[in-house]
Amino acid sequence: MSDKKRVLSCIQPTGDMHFGNYFGAVKNWVELQATYECMYGVVDYHAMTMPFNPIKLRENTWELIFNLMAVGIEPQNLFIQSLVPEHTELCWIFNCFASYGQLSRMTQFKDKSATASEGEDGFISAGLFDYPVLQAADICVYRADYVPVGKDQEQHLELARNIVQRFNNQVGKEYLIMPEPLYTEFTKITSTADPSRKMSKSAGEKHYISLFSDSDKIRKQVRSAVTDTGENTGGEMSPGVKNLFELLKACEKIETYTALKADYDAGNLKYAPLKEAVAEALVEISEAVRSKRAELNTRKKEVKEEIKASSAQIRERAQQTLRNVKELAGLLNVKY
């Protein structure tokens, strides 16, 4: 076992990966592998909390696995949640240590349930209400020290910490590790079509730029990016222009960023060169990951077996944690 601190982070299999996902989380995941013992999960159980298609769910799960490997996530650090059933068993135990009141105050539940209620039958699953407890189990089943979080996930991590404290107090032993937030620098990317909203697939095709998209399509989307909307910004940089600069900086084109920012500050910036620089920077990243993805596609069966094996190996850690939790909670264990 490694002496490094352990990091756990997960992502839902929603299909194609876009630059918002990449710069907002996944690029950071790749870099964390050099410093920490990392475990990254594709959480297909979480994807069931909203209406889903079973065939697409399985396809999207493998699609995301291949995409994560293409951007630089090491296969031994990857697992698929449904291949580790200890997540859901620990979730039930954690349900008995979670506060109904705290769950009912979760901002994401309020937002997503409002969206679900607007559907054809207005169905809101109990899983949507309860999934923060499953998230807590995701973290604690591996005894993770750190969880990379953004502002929208702080509530969920606090719930996990409360569950840990309640469990440890109940069993009279400091067994479960209190997970800490890992605040790392990340870039918040907004839609190039509407800079007032984040880059997201759920908003529609024009609101995200796929990391694995055709180069010409990327260039076209960036060329059509909204810059100034005509609204009075009080002399501040408009959201659309700011987003383009953020993209350029996220691509680590610092020299180009500095030169174009100087033009902006001097009042001499033309948006065409800015858009061209952003487009070329995104295309450079996209071409590199598409090349790696194409190589992975030539050995799909081998890659899938590799991830099943890594999931099985990572599962051993979850099994040990669950055995200890059940023992401490007065439950019976089965022999593996």
Instruction: Choose the catalytic residue: 5, 56, 198, 261.
Output: 198
Is 201 one of the catalytic residues? yes
List, in order, residues 6 or more apart from 50 with CB less than 8 Å away: 112, 116, 125, 128
For this structure, is 198 an active site residue? yes
Residue 93 neighbours by CB under 8 Å, 6+ apart: 167, 325, 326, 329, 331
C-beta of residue 200 within 8 angstroms of C-beta of residue 207:
yes
Which residues are paired to 181 by β-bridges? 147
Angle between helices 126-140 and 154-171 (to 10 degrees): 70
**Exactly one of 5, 56, 188, 201 is catalytic; which is it?**
201
Beta bridge partners of 7: 38, 146
The Cα 299–Cα 8 span in angstroms is 27
The enclosing H or E element of 136 equals helix 126-140
Cα 158–chain centre separation: 18
Residue at 195: amino acid letter: P
Measure the CA–CA gap between 113 and 181, rounded to whole angstroms: 26
CA-based torsion, 35, 27, 199, 307: positive or negative: negative
Here the tokens at position 242 are 């700011």
Distance from C-alpha of 176 to C-alpha of 145, rounded to nearest angstrom: 10
Rg of the Cα trace of the chain? 22
Catalytic member of 27, 112, 253, 275 = 112
**Tokens (6 digits) for 63:** 């699609």
**Which distant-in-sequence residues (6+ apart) come within 8 Å of 13 by Cβ?**
42, 43, 44, 47, 57, 60, 61, 63, 64
Give the active site residues: 112, 198, 201
